[in-house]
Amino acid sequence: MKKLLLALVYTAAALGANPSTGLAADRAEIEALRDGDLKKLIVLPERRAVSQVPFQLADGAGEATLGDYKGKVVLLNFWATWCAPCRKEMPQLSALQSELGGDRFEVLTIATGRNSPAGIEKFFGEIGVDNLPRHQDPKQALAREMAVIGLPITVLIDADGMEVARLIGDADWNSDSARAIISAVIGTEG
């Protein structure tokens, strides 16, 4: 029954964008797709602008802002090398990126706080992740601006560059529920 409900809600979301929010799915549709770990996903009553504080790109390639990702749905994950739940969650984020990543969606990982580039590279190597970015927010400026109060925190950003939802703590991002939520937000945007 639950899978039928998920399929019906996903189909309704995929048929067209909600003109009142610019989202392919409205708040109620996204909430209905939450299951398992994704029950912790907090869907905002109103979308809100994300910070434009710059972060460091991997391998010293310069800086970027979240505005550089406008036009694409982003699942932004704040994490750290010392964070045990992050170690558990990162392979699931990697699997989500492998399945859904592309022109319309991207998993964006940003190590916040004291995380050396070598430590980040070692962390990814130990858990077998090679398809996620190793970006950094060493002074936690972006994390502070985005009200990151612990790690991990994952923020769902729509293609308009607006925060739609966030999840505090780790979750199974390779679950049917996560894929349905991301697919619903991607919808007909772009």
Tell me the DSSP string of 162-181: EEEEEEES---TTSHHHHHH
The answer to pTM > 0.85 is yes
Give how far Cα 166 sits from Cα of 2, 19, 117, Å: 23, 22, 26
pLDDT tens string 135-148: 999 999 999 999 99
Question: How confident is the model at residue 23, as a pLDDT?
Answer: 55
Q: What are phi and psi of 101, to 5 degrees?
A: -65, 145
Of 56 and 13, the one with more pLDDT: 56
3-state helix, strand, coil in the chain (%, to 5): 40, 20, 40
Distance CA 21, CA 46 (A): 8
